[in-house]
Amino acid sequence: MKPARIILAALIFAGAAIAQTKPGPELKKLDNFVGTWTLNGNMKAGAAGAGGTMIENNKCDWMEGGFYLVCHSDYKGTMGSGTGLSVMGYSAEDKAYTFREFESDGEFVDSRGKLDGETWTWTNDENMNGSTVKGRFTIQMTSGSSYTYAFDMSQDGTKWSTVMEGKATKK
C-alpha cells in the first residue's frame, strides 16, 4: 500500500472513531442552561460606557449529538440593542468549558470556564479602545431556575472592577 493511502486510511479510521464518541459527564453540567432565560442587568458607568439597565432573552438547546449547547439571544438597554449566538461546550484536552459568542454588533467573545460547586467562572481577553483587558463573567446558581451574575474587568488580571451585575430567571 502506498504511503498516501495509509495516511488516508488512518485519517478515515480516526474520524470514524471520533464520530462514535459520546458526550462526557462534564457536558451534562451545562444542562442547567437549557431553556428560555431572561437576564436583567445593571451596567455601571465607566470605561465600557455610560451604564444603565439591560435586559436579555436567551433560548438554549443542545445541538444534535449533545456536544454543544447553542443559545440565541436578543438584548436591549441604555447602551443599545442587538442579537447574539453563543455556543458552549467542553474541551477535554484543555479540561475547560468553552464559550464562544457572536453578536450582531460585530463583537466576538471566546472564553474558557470552570465550575466550582454552584459557581461558574468564565475568563477571556477583550479588546477595549485599542488595548487588551481581562474579562471575567461569574454565575452563581441560586436554584434550577435562577442565577445571579457579574461581569468584571481588569487591566492586569489581579485587580478587578465590576462592570455589570444582575439576575437571570428561567421561564
For residue 122, give the H/E element and its range: strand 119-128
C-alpha cell at 105: 454588533
Output the CATH code of domain 24-170.
2.40.128.20
pTM above 0.95, yes or no: no
Q: How far apart are CA 98 and CA 150, in angstroms?
A: 18
Query: What are the pLDDT digits (tens) for 5-57?
Result: 666 455 455 554 455 589 999 999 999 999 999 999 999 987 666 789 999 99
- For residue 1, the model assigns a pLDDT of 54
Query: What are the pLDDT digits (tens) for 89-142?
Result: 999 999 999 999 999 999 999 999 999 999 999 999 988 778 899 999 999 999
| One-letter amino acid of 52 | G
Coil, helix or strand at residue 34: coil
Q: Where are the domains of the chain?
A: 24-170
Q: How far apart are CA 166 and CA 116, in angstroms?
A: 20
Residue 164 φ/ψ, nearest 5 degrees: -150, 145
